[in-house]
Amino acid sequence: QVQVVESGGGSVQAGGSLKLSCAASGRIGNMTCVGWFRQVPGKEREGVATIHTSGGGTYYAASVKGRFTISRDNAKNVVYLQMNSLKPEDTAMYYCAAQGSVLLTCPARSSWYNYWGQGTQVTVSS
C-alpha cells in the first residue's frame, strides 16, 4: 500500500508564494509518476503539474506554466510544488497523487492515478 500526504497549503495575497510538499511512504518503489491536481467545488479536478520521479520529465498546465515549478527529492520521497505569482483563480484544494508506470511521461488525467492524499487548501486573496 502507498500513503500520500500533502502539506504546505495556506492563505496568501495575490502575487505571493507557497510551497506544497507531497510525501510518499509504503510500497513506493514503483511510483514513478507524481502529480499535483486542484479542485474547486462544482468543478472537475484539474491536473496542475506532473513529474516522472526517475527521468525527471515534467508537465505543466497552461494556466500555471512559468509560475509553478514541480520538483522531487528522491532521497526523501518528497515532491514539491513551488507556486509563485499566485492569483485568486489559483484558489482550490490541492491534491497529490502517485502511480506506477512504464511510461516516460506522466499523464495529467486524475483518473489515471490510484493513490491520493487528503488534500491541502490554498486560498489566494486579491
How far apart CA 124 and CA 115 sit, in angstroms, is 27
At residue 7, the pLDDT reads: 97
At residue 23, the pLDDT reads: 94
Among 58, 102, 117, which Cα is nearest to 82's? Answer: 58
At residue 25, the pLDDT reads: 86
Number of H helices, E strands in the chain: 0, 11
At residue 1, the pLDDT reads: 82
Sign of the Cα torsion 26, 30, 32, 35 reads negative
**pLDDT tens by residue, the chain, 126 residues:** 889 999 999 999 999 999 999 998 877 777 889 999 999 999 999 999 999 988 889 999 999 999 999 999 988 999 999 999 999 999 999 999 999 888 888 999 999 999 999 999 999 999
At residue 80, the pLDDT reads: 97
The grid coordinates listed for 91 are 484558489
Asked if residue 107 lies in contact with residue 45, where contact means CB atoms within 8 angstroms, the answer is no
Asked if residue 46 lies in contact with residue 38, where contact means CB atoms within 8 angstroms, the answer is yes
Three-state secondary-structure class, residue 89: helix
